[in-house]
Structure 1
Amino acid sequence: MEDIINAINYWMQTLPKVYNSMAETEISNRPLPNKWSQKEILGHLCDSALNNINRFIKIQYEEQPFVIQSYNQDQWVILQNYQERPLEEIVNLFLSLNEQIINIISNIPKEGLSYLCDIGNKQETLEWLLKDYLNHMEHHINNQILNKNKA
Structure 2
Amino acid sequence: MEQQIARLEKHLLAVSQTFQQIGEEKAASRPAPGKWSAKEILGHLCDSAINNLPRFVRAQTEQPYVLIPYQQDEWVKAQAYQQRTVEEIVQLYSSMNRAIITVISVMPASAYDHSCTTADGTAVSLQWLVQDYVEHMEHHLDQLQRQIS
TM-score scaled by length of structure 2: 0.95
Q: How does 1:1-151 map to 2 (within 5 A)?
A: 1-64=1-64, 66-119=65-118, 120-142=120-142, 144-148=143-147
Give the letter for the 1:137 counterpart.
M
Identity of aligned residues (%): 41
Q: 2-side partners of 1:95 and 1:111: how far apart?
A: 27
**Segments of 4+ moved more than 3 angstroms:** none
How many Å apart are 1:21 and its aligned residue?
A: 0.8
Runs of 5+ unmatched residues, structure 2: none
Unaligned runs of 5+ in 1: none
- The number of aligned residues is 148
The TM-score normalised by the length of structure 1 is 0.94
RMSD: 1.3
Distance in 2, matches of 1:60 and 1:130, equals 12
Tell me, what secondary structure is at the counterpart of 2:74? helix
Q: CA deviation at 1:149?
A: 7.6
Question: What is the alpha-carbon distance in structure 2 between the residues aligned to residue 48 and residue 137 of structure 1?
Answer: 8
- Give me the whole-angstrom Cα distance separating, in 2, the residues matched to 1:30 and 1:105: 34
Shift of 1:63: 2.8
